[in-house]
Amino acid sequence: MGVRGLQGFVGSTCPHICTVVNFKELAEHHRSKHPGCTPTIVVDAMCCLRYWYTPESWICGGQWREYFSALRDFVKTFTAVGIRLIFFFDGTVEQDKRDEWVKRRLKNNREISRIFHYIKSHKEQPGRNMFFIPSGLAIFTRFALKSLGQETLCSLQEADYEVASYGLQNNCLGILGEDTDYLIYDTCPYFSISELCLDSLDTVMLCREKLCESLDISLADLPLLACLLGNDIIPEGMFESFRYKCLSSYTSVKENFDKKGNIILAVADHISKVLRLHQGEKKLEEMLPLGPNKALFYKGVASYLLPGQKSPWFFQKPKGLITLDKEVGSTSSAPESKQGVPMCTDPESKQGVPLCTDPDSKQGIPMCTDAESKQGVPMCTDPESKQGVPMWTNPESKQGVPVCTDPESKQGVPVSTDPDSKQAVPVCMDPGSKEGFLLCTHPESKQGVPMCTHPEFKQGDPVCTHPESTQGDPVCTYPESKQGVPMYAYSEYRQGVPMCTYSESKQGVPMYTHTEFKQKSPLGADPEFKLEAPVCTNPGMKQEDLVNMEPEIKQQVTMVSDPEILKIARAHHVRAESYLVYNIMSSGEIECSNTLEDALDQALPSQAFVYRPVRQRVYSLLLGGGEDGASTCPTVKEWFVYSGNPLRHPDLVRPLQMNIPGGTPNLKLLWLNQDAGIQARRLDALLGCFDLSSSREELQAVENPFKALCCLLTYLFVQVDTLCLEDLHAFIAQALCLQGKPTVQLVDLQLDYIDARAVQLGSLLVRGLTTLVLVNSACGFPWRMSDFMPWNVFDGKLFHQKYLQSEKGCTVEALVEQNRSRLTKFHALKSVVCKACVRENRRIVSRQLWPSPQPGRWGRQGSGSHRTSSGYSRAGQGQHWRDQGPGNRQYEPDHWRRYSSSGWSN
């Protein structure tokens, strides 16, 4: 995390960079310097999770009451000295960092395997050196902090960038986290969470100015240094040979420093003495061995530039602009920004191309990519028109071709100068060739349409495709707008991408249409198709706008075209009030990190499979258009960690038809309508996601907070046949006993031993609670979130205790600790779950009745099966869930079930 080797370098080679400070004293100084301004610390919450999780037990699924108490103490300590806290959480994984995300997940898998091996060998929890945070910790921490009255935000891009931006723009006291990237950003002071002593409020401040002084470089050089050393964007091996060349020519190698420390010193020395010597005379790519990695390198450097900041390393002879690429559907960085960033993609480089915005004109600037060099295309100023135009450089002639719109023109197409006719004609370069698409005005429509000069097409043919057309080159008029729709055709697909307009922004947004879908979908809506187009033009731009990290664009390329619904989803996401909803609707891509699951346990499926049908129905609700939503909405990319998945590609998961009385309600009804009776429709939608509509009355009769728990347990026991009556008793008993136990009693709870299966069951239930957060958010919040927060319904050690007691054959009275009131509630809750399962043709039996300990089967239902209650059958044998095949497999909209080979009576 952060810059490779920098943390160790600071600690061993340059300890003077670290200064012990006291937050109370800093706050007093801040108040005296800024009267009336509350000292504010921006907290990178993801960096603090390990620090906050202080309970001794972590293996059993989480000690949530203890954890909540620790968070409350943390908040109280800072509040007592008048310091305001703003918590930021990661809300997405940017594509540039996906490889790093995957690498960490696979590393975590190996650690989890060692953990389960230790448990089976020693029957106890491993030491803190093998500590693994409980599943769902980051998700539930958001809600815990909100319940404590704290301002909690979820990022729309990489969280550390938003943290640094917020700290800079709001004159904050500092940033609290544990990421060396905060030493690179030119923002407010950076404080270490790992060095924080909560009792005294002492910690360590890492000073970037002292770091620069030690390295003899300037603050503006730090992004360059970070990328040459390697970070989450730039792979460590990319500049390995370059670093060793620097080291070999470095004359001040210090024997008492370690090798990594000397490499950092050598690279910094090269920047200050060699690169600076030729700066302004040579391009940076001429001074560094960038090769084909030029675009990625510039992107990495630009990722550290906060709004309004520039890099001296970007000023080249052709005055230009290089922007940080974003993926389709990515959004603005600053919390207060309310717009998204439309993108197009180079089909060869597969890198996102952003549409930047001039902060003055507030108009979109299309950026494209040189397919050979894969470098971001700079923007420059036309000396005649004095207006900003993007430049495309021919690799052979090395001359720029302007491709931007004349603001005086009434034509909505880019313009350039034809060297033969000396007339302004639009140009768009084909990323797959060295020739361009000339853009001119269609004589009939009098509107700008692209003209094709590609050798595969007829010369001069307008590049425009009607959505129903199969060709990539004819001119068409969009039937609704009655205007020429500019199209961009890749020769590989022979299809075009229309540029449509959002009603609010009145600016072009790339769209695609496929015959499989009966609705126009924004670009990127279906991961199976790779049709992309550049969007918009900019009538003017300042040359000094080097990198605009806070674009203000009125439109956004998303999976959902309704701007009102998307705005609501975005607001819930930013305020950390929902989970995954906005990611699904904006980019159609979600992820879930590691879970404590035993890869060698063939009897219990991964939570990724268990809850997939629920997610599939949520996709239908969020992306569909009503009752036939499952057949009209595209697939969703799932990056879920489970055993055997190498994570080379996401799973492409199709939506699943919902079975809701009265039909599937639309999102405007669920999210915006406040009429009487709508809450009942919201509940119908929630139960429909779990396919438990038939148990509505029984579940409604259950008191809070057990209503949501019963819903989840019913789904789990219907879905997983290898769960037995003893498991159900343990789940219900721990929830009931938890209500009357103070936190201190849970802390003192001791376990006889640790059981590997109970560990996995605890994690499985907690992941179910996070799934409830997703469903409740998608359905308009029919239930209170507090009803399924784990500190109200689950405690890891307590569940483990009840599990071990139940396995030993303890009576129900013993499980509920001889409490008559709990015993009555126990039988009531058990009855609700068992009756609902029987209705689904699932009979829960004791493990003692199992004829053999054979593992179950997790299978797919054949097309000929039928059930009257829900339209599918659990009868028959399915494909083993471990053999389903990971990676880019496409999952069709059918029901996934867990089947038993043990011969149980159903």
| 620 lies in some domain | yes
Q: Which residue has the higher pLDDT, 536 or 119?
A: 119
In 549-605, the DSSP E strands lie at 589-592
Domain boundary among 787, 815, 844: 844
**Is 178 part of a structural domain of the chain?**
yes
Residue 192 in domain: yes
Query: Taking residues 6-30, what's their average pLDDT?
Result: 90
855: how many CB neighbours lie within 10 A of its CB? 16
Per-residue confidence (pLDDT) for residue 259, from 0 to 100: 77
Angle, alpha carbons 255-259-264 (nearest 5°): 105
658 to 265, 344, 543, 628: CA distances (angstroms) = 60, 33, 53, 9
The verdict on pTM exceeding 0.75 is no
Looking at the domain assignment, is residue 403 inside a domain? no
66: exposed, middle or buried (Cβ count in 10 Å: 0-12, 13-18, 19+): buried
- Does a structural domain hold residue 605? yes
Quick: pLDDT tens for 849-894.
766 554 443 433 322 222 222 323 232 223 334 344 444 445 544 3
Over residues 80-129, the pLDDT tens digits come to 999 999 999 999 998 888 999 999 999 999 999 999 999 999 999 999 99
DSSP strands (E only) in 38-130: 40-44, 84-89
Look at residue 717 and tell me if it is in a domain. Answer: yes
Which stretch of 187-196, 557-566, 677-686 has the lowest confidence by average pLDDT? Answer: 557-566
38-53 residue pLDDT tens:
999 999 999 999 999 9
SS3 category, 562: coil
174 belongs to a structural domain: yes
- Structural domain range at position 690: 563-844
Residue where a domain stops, chosen among 240, 269, 303: 303
Total domain count, the chain: 2
3-state secondary structure 663-679: CCCCHHHHHHCCCCCHH
Look at residue 161 in the predicted model and tell me its pLDDT.
95
In a domain, 321, yes or no: no
Task: Give CA separation, 294 vs 33, 238, 299, 316, 378, in Å.
Answer: 44, 11, 9, 14, 13
3-state SS of the chain: helix, strand, coil percent to 5?
Answer: 40, 15, 50
Place of tokens 């230790």: 118
The last residue of a domain, from among 285, 303, 321 = 303
Contact 826, 736 (CB under 8 A): yes
Q: By the 8 A CB rule, do 509 and 555 touch?
A: yes
Query: How far are the Cα atoms of 9, 217, 265, 270, 892 from residue 246, in angstroms, in the given order?
Result: 17, 15, 9, 6, 53
- The per-residue pLDDT for 548 is 33
Query: Which of the pair, 659 or 479, is modelled with greater confidence?
Result: 659
The CATH number of the domain holding residue 47 is 3.40.50.1010
More confident residue, 529 or 616: 616
